[in-house]
Chain A
C-alpha cells in the first residue's frame, strides 16, 4: 500500500524536509522529514506531547515551522491551505448553529452559496446516521454524534486532504470502534488523503495504510511502516496474526523509547 515505485512519478501531496519547530527554548520537532502520497491514510503515532499535533498544526498553517520546508500540493504552507478538511479532538462545533448549519460552515467561510451545498450536507449527515438530527443543537448530541457532525463538516467541500488530530481520543471505546469503522469506509469510498494523529496503536493499525511512529519530544520519526493489511477491513482484522505482528512492532518501538515497560 505504501507508495509503490511507479507511484513515485506522481509528486507527493505533502512533503516535509528537515522541519524543525521551536517554542522558545522548547524543541518540539527536530529535523522531521516525511512524504505523504495522494490517497494514503497515514497515522502519526506517538506519545502525548511528542510534537505530532504540532506537525499537524504546521500543515494546517496554524503554526509555522522554525526551519525546514513544508509543502502541501507543492505549495509552501504559510496560510491555511485551500481544500483541506480538519477534525480536532474536541469537535469544535459551534453551539449556536444547528447541526446542518455547522456542517455548512465551510461553504459559508469559502464564500459559497449555502443553499447549493445543503443537499450535500444532508447526504453526509444521513451517511453517518444523523439524518434525524439536522436541526438539533449540538448540545443535544452525545460526544460520538458531535464528532460525526465534525467529520461531515470536514468532508463538505470534498477536500483532497483530511487532517485529523486525535479525533476519537475523547470517546468511549465502543463509540471509538464504530467511528473507526465509519471513517475507514468513508476513506475507502472517497479516496482522499488522510493524516491521522493518534496515540492508540490498534486505532492506527486498523485505519491506516501507513504508520509513522514519533519519538518523544523533540519529535522525530523513528519508524515508518507500510501496513500489509487488506484495504477493506473489518474489526476482526485486529485478531489476525499480521495485525498482532504489527502491533508488536509498534509496541517494540515504544518499549525501545522507554515509554512502555512490560511487567
Chain B
C-alpha cells in the first residue's frame, strides 16, 4: 500500500537523515580530537573536494561510465539469459548450474586475469563490473519471469497466444517488479565492480584515487573519494528507480488518463 501522506512522506527526510549523520561525524571527530590521518572531519573532506573539483569530477565520471557500462551489459545480457533459462528447461539444466558455478569464483580473484586478457584500459574494468552485477539480474529476472499468475497464463494459452506473444505481453510485464529489484542490486554491484577493476590496475577513476591516496596516507582524499562514491551510489539507484516508476505506471495506483468517479 502507498504510505499515508503526512510526516513520513516529506522529501526532506532523507536529507535530514544524511545531515544528522554528517553532524554526528563532525561532532565525533572534533569532540574527541581524532587525528585527520585516521578520520578527517566532514569539513576537511568537503575542503579537499573543493580544492580539486574538476579533477574529482573527472575521476567520478570515469568510474560512473565504467559502472554504467557494466550495469547495462549485465541488465541486457542477464535478462536475455533469464529468458532463455525460463523458456527452455533444457537450457536451464544445461547452463544454469554452470552459471552458478562460474559466479561462485570470486571476481576479485579473476580481475588480474582480465588485465592479462584485456590490458589496462577500460575493458577489464567493464568486464569486472559486468561479472559482479549480472548474477543479481539473472536470479531476480528468472524469479520474475516465473511469477506470472497461473490463471493469466491459462487464459493467454486459451487465447492461442504464441510463446513470443505470451512472453512479451504476460511474462515480461509480470516480471518487471523483480527485474527492477535485480537492476537496483546490480547497479550498486556494478559500482563495486568498477572500483575493484580500478584497484587492480588503473591510472584513473575513484578506485585509483583511493589506492594512490592510501599510499601517501592522504586520508582526507580517501574519504573524499568514498563520499563521492556514496553520493554516486544514491544517484545511480535513484536513476534506476525513476525508470522503474516510468515503465510501470500501473503500480503507481494513479489512473493512466483521467477517470471520472473512480469508486472502489
Contact = CB atoms under 8 A, between A and B. Distances in A.
Please say whether chains A and B are actual partners in one complex: yes
Interface stretch (B62-70, B111-119, B146-154): B146-154
Contacts of B170: 94
B256 A88 contact: no
Interface string B37-74: 00000000000000000000000000000000000000
Interface in A78-115: 79-80, 82, 84, 86, 88-90, 92-96, 98, 105-106, 108-110
A90 B151 CA distance: 7
A233 interface: no
B158 A62 contact: yes
Contact of A80 (B151, B160, B256): B160
B259 A62 contact: no
B253 A139 contact: yes
A132 interface: yes
A80 B259 contact: no
Interface in A178-198: none
A186 to B, nearest CB: 19
Interface in B144-179: 149, 151-152, 154-161, 165, 169-170, 173-174, 176
A106 B159 CA distance: 6
Contacts of B155: 86, 88, 92
Given A92-B155, A132-B261, A98 B253 contact: no
A18 B99 CA distance: 48
A135 B256 contact: yes
B80 to A, nearest CB: 21
A73 B203 CA distance: 74
Given A94-B152, A136-B262, A142-B264, A80 B158 contact: yes
Contacts of A92: 149, 151-152, 154-155
Interface residues of A, number: 32
A132 B260 CA distance: 7
Given A80-B159, A80-B160, A92-B152, A137 B264 contact: no
B158 A84 contact: yes
A260 interface: no
Contacts of A142: 263-264
A213 B248 CA distance: 45
A187 B248 CA distance: 37
Given A88-B154, A92-B152, A109 B262 contact: no
A62 B157 contact: yes
A114 to B, nearest CB: 12
Contacts of A89: 151
Contacts of B152: 92-94
Contacts, number: 85
Nearest to B259: A136
Contact of A110 (B151, B156, B159, B260): B159
Interface string B171-206: 001101000000000000000000000000000000
Contact of B165 (A79, A94, A109): A109
Interface string A129-155: 000110111111010000000000000
B33 interface: no
Contacts of B151: 88-90, 92
B160 A96 contact: no
A98 B250 CA distance: 8
B173 A94 contact: yes
Given A88-B154, A132-B261, A109 B250 contact: no
A32 interface: no
A140 B261 contact: no
A108 B253 CA distance: 25
A136 B263 CA distance: 11
B3 interface: no
Interface string A67-84: 000000000000110101
Given A94-B152, A132-B260, A139 B250 contact: yes
Given A136-B259, A137-B253, 11 more contacts: A57-B154, A62-B157, A86-B159, A94-B152, A96-B174, A96-B176, A98-B256, A109-B159, A110-B160, A132-B259, A132-B262
Interface of A: 57, 60-62, 79-80, 82, 84, 86, 88-90, 92-96, 98, 105-106, 108-110, 132-133, 135-140, 142
- List of 9 A-B pairs having minimum Cβ-Cβ separation, nearest first: A109-B159, A96-B173, A92-B151, A109-B161, A92-B155, A137-B250, A86-B158, A135-B257, A80-B158
